[in-house]
Amino acid sequence: MDWLTNDLVQGVSGAHYLAAGLLVVVGACLQGVSGLGFAMFSAPLAAMWFPELVPGPLLVLSCPLALMGGLRDREAIQWPLAGVAVVGRLGGTVLAAACLVMLSVQTLSLLFALLILTGVSLSLTGWRVMPTRRNMAVAGLASGMMGTITSAGAPPFAIAMQNMGAAQLRGTFGAIFFIGSAVSIAVLTVVGRMGAHEYLLSALLMPWMFLGFFASNPIKRHVPAPLVRKLLLAMAAIGALVVLFRTLTA
């Protein structure tokens, strides 16, 4: 992370910082349009080119992003589904802390990537997943684990929520991930994966996140629900493939 603290504190322009900011802008805009997408887009690319962003800083950026998304579509939030999803995500976050002690990140990442690819494949072959309370609870559990370990906790919800209306998806996801991301950040801080440098990096990239979210306002009105579903599945698949590739070549 010396590229950031050394360059920006001394007033020197950092190309790496600008590239990371562009990544955050695109990811935040995607999430503003579809309801999900920030971590699914940003985390795999950050792991390859900006590893200092994973997992903590991306989670810190995703927390206010989720809050803004939830507030913007608050009238469409499905609170019963959001409630069981949050409970599941909290359980998954606690379980992730235990898994990080007992298992390697590579093993867990491989498992998550294979599960997400299976879910996307089944969805493309006609398997219709409905956002029931049971499915949302399972998605929450998987999301809590995956989000805490890799910072990409959205793919399980992309599978479970793919048939929701666009406004319902954006609002409900925002409510879920605001709470879930805050808990994941706290857990990472407790286990020593988040420190002063990570919080500083998050603060310096925060304006890029706001820029991406507000840029999504005029775009989201012109994106139909079927396209949103395809975007969700595509981002989930691409994210899983990148995680799989990175894990197998590590």
pLDDT tens-digit map of 41-62: 887 788 778 888 888 899 899 9
Residue 18 covered by a domain:
yes
Q: With a cut of 50, say whether residue 1 has pLDDT above it.
A: no
Residue 58 covered by a domain:
yes
Residue 219 covered by a domain:
yes
pLDDT at 49: 83
Number of domains into which the chain is organized? 1
What is the number of H-type helices and E-type strands within the chain? 11, 0
Highest mean pLDDT among 45-59, 115-129, 171-185, 197-211: 197-211
pLDDT at 23: 93
Residue 5 covered by a domain:
no
**Which of 6-20, 90-104, 196-210 is predicted with the least confidence, judged by mean pLDDT?**
6-20
Q: With a cut of 80, say whether residue 243 has pLDDT above it.
A: no
Q: How confident is the model at residue 77 (pLDDT cuts 50, 70, 90)?
A: very high
Q: With a cut of 50, say whether residue 3 has pLDDT above it.
A: no
**Distance between CA 240 and CA 236 in Å, rounded?**
6
pLDDT at 151: 62
Calculate the CA dihedral of residues 213, 215, 216, 217 and round it to 10 degrees: 100
Q: With a cut of 70, say whether residue 7 has pLDDT above it.
A: no
pLDDT at 9: 38
Q: With a cut of 80, say whether residue 80 has pLDDT above it.
A: yes
Calculate the CA dihedral of residues 4, 5, 11, 17 and round it to 10 degrees: 10
Residue 116 covered by a domain:
yes
Residue 8 covered by a domain:
no
Q: State phi, psi for 233 to the nearest 5 degrees.
A: -65, -40
Residues 154-177, mean pLDDT to the nearest whole number: 88
Expressed as residue numbers, the domain containing 233 is: 13-249
Q: With a cut of 70, say whether residue 70 has pLDDT above it.
A: yes
pLDDT at 29: 94
Residue 6 covered by a domain:
no
Residue 208: CB partners within 8 Å, gap ≥ 6?
20, 21, 22, 24, 25, 28
129-165 as b/e: b if 16+ CB within 10 A = bebeeebbbbbbbbbbbbbbbbbbbbbbbbbbbbebe
Place of tokens 């309370």: 133
**Distance between CA 19 and CA 224 in Å, rounded?**
30
What is residue 76's DSSP assignment?
G
